[in-house]
Structure 1
């Protein structure tokens, strides 16, 4: 069975960006909150969808790495990334 990653999209409630990652052969639904994008990826407040997705795509490698680390530590079917996930110790 082949699994694919879906294209990222801004949630209807505009609270984040939904995306997926393939982890151990399963597609995991993920969300990064707008607060995380604003606090960690220089997204401006009240940005339009195109700008939100640009910032998401600019930071995708880091976002994906954090999502994969969280899934390795705590496997889940859904994952939400917040500013705390990007804080450096």
Structure 2
């Protein structure tokens, strides 16, 4: 299982989990929304912090893959992943 380069953090507003991807000499802040974790990673509504971070870590390989693909298509310095980003075409 891949491990995030930096420790993930739950946002102060509890709307997502932030993490960082290092791409070459660039560090990109990424956020996966709680809604995405609930819709695609089996996170229960109103889950506690420990559960949110566990679900994030368990799904990190997939989350990272989606983030990297989105970054390739739309380079940016801050990326947000929503439920739509995890829908299969």
TM-score band by shorter chain is: over 0.9
Shift of 1:6: 1.9
Q: For structure 1, which runs of at least 5 residues remain unmatched after alignment? A: none
Shift of 1:68: 0.4
Q: 2:73 matched to 1:88?
A: no
> Structure 1, residues 41-89: CA drift from partner, whole Å, max 9, x if none?
0000000000000000000000000000011111000000000000001
Query: In structure 2, what is the Cα distance between the partners aligned to 1:75 and 1:41?
Result: 25
State the partner residue of 2:21.
Answer: 21
Shift of 1:21: 0.5
Q: 2:34 matched to 1:38?
A: no
Shift of 1:23: 1.6
Normalising by structure 2, we get a TM-score of 0.93
Moved over 6 A (4+): none
Normalising by structure 1, we get a TM-score of 0.93
State the partner residue of 2:68.
Answer: 68
Query: In structure 2, what is the Cα distance between the partners aligned to 1:7 and 1:29?
Result: 12
- Root-mean-square deviation (CA), in Å? 1.2
Classify the secondary structure of the residue corresponding to 2:20: strand
